[in-house]
Amino acid sequence: MFDHSTVIKAETKRFVEAVTAADPAAAVPTCPEWTAADLLWHLTEVHGFWARILASGVLADADAEAIQGEKPARPGDLAGTVALLDAETDALIEQLDKRVDEQPAWSWFDTDQTVGFTRRMQLHEAVMHRLDAELVAGRTPTPIDPEVAVDGVRHAIDVMFAWWGTLPGFEFAPSDAVVALTLTDVERTVLVRPGRWRGVGQSGKSYDQPGIVRVTDLPPDAGFAGTAEAVDRWLWGRGPEPEADGDPAALDAVRAVQAGGIQ
């Protein structure tokens, strides 16, 4: 098993090394609306926000919004932003290390308001943005630790693609299909069932969105296979589709979820 804080620190260090080697004005291939300088500022904002969320102990949405409004101004130069990122990362790690997973903490994921959610989310945020930084710098991405990648696959399914299920009144309508995500290097398989998230938003608009949920002990109708890193990167929109086989409709249902992107 890995230590989340150790991984966050190591990934942030790699992130800085890569993003500062890129042209600050270069578009990030995996986030084309951002430049390399924007990517640097984004991770700085993220680490600072979650450090302050944990330090404050807030649990209400309004209080979290207030903390967002109190963020420091963006430095006008690269060196200043890197220095602020270093400080915000240290603050985030300090707050994470003094808390246990079960401790209550505000998050945007309504069904998991714990420090553990923040710990897991910030690990994968650091990993994926490190990949973004290496790609904008034109570097070959550093491999993701296989166990971190396995956790990233689960987090993508259970959180990043499942947030529709946290909305009041939204329900998952499963299909009959089951799709296997085979992680070849760690000899593990994650089974998912495609379906649709359906509900009515606060504005009165009806939604019918593709989704997947994890299942167990069911025979698959189709599957994607690759290393844990390959499947992790694909689900998070940072790599090509792994090898696919089986029922075309089942495969396309999972592809539709992945194509929707990480929110």
Q: What is the pTM of this model?
A: 0.96
For the beta carbon of residue 86, count every other beta carbon within 10 angstroms.
Answer: 15
CA nearest neighbour of 60 among 72, 68, 51, 48: 68
The answer regarding whether domain 4-136 maps to CATH 3.40.228.10 reads no
> Using CA atoms, how far apart are residues 86 and 92, in angstroms rounded to an integer?
10
> Using CA atoms, how far apart are residues 64 and 47, in angstroms rounded to an integer?
14
> Using CA atoms, how far apart are residues 12 and 27, in angstroms rounded to an integer?
20
Confidence band for 132, pLDDT divided at 50, 70 and 90: very high
Q: What is the pLDDT of residues 224-262, one digit of tens each?
A: 999 999 999 999 999 999 999 999 999 999 999 999 988
- Give buried/exposed letters for 97-116 (b at 16+ CB in 10 A, else e): eebeeeeebbbebeebebbb
Confidence band for 170, pLDDT divided at 50, 70 and 90: very high
Distance set, CA 80 to CA 86, 115, 164, 191, 255 (Å): 10, 29, 38, 45, 41
CATH number for the 153-259 domain, one of 2.60.40, 2.40.50, 3.40.50, 3.30.1050?
3.30.1050
Residues 151-168: what's their mean pLDDT? 95
Indicate where the chain has its CATH 1.20.120.450 domain(s).
Answer: 4-136
Indicate where the chain has its CATH 3.30.1050 domain(s).
Answer: 153-259
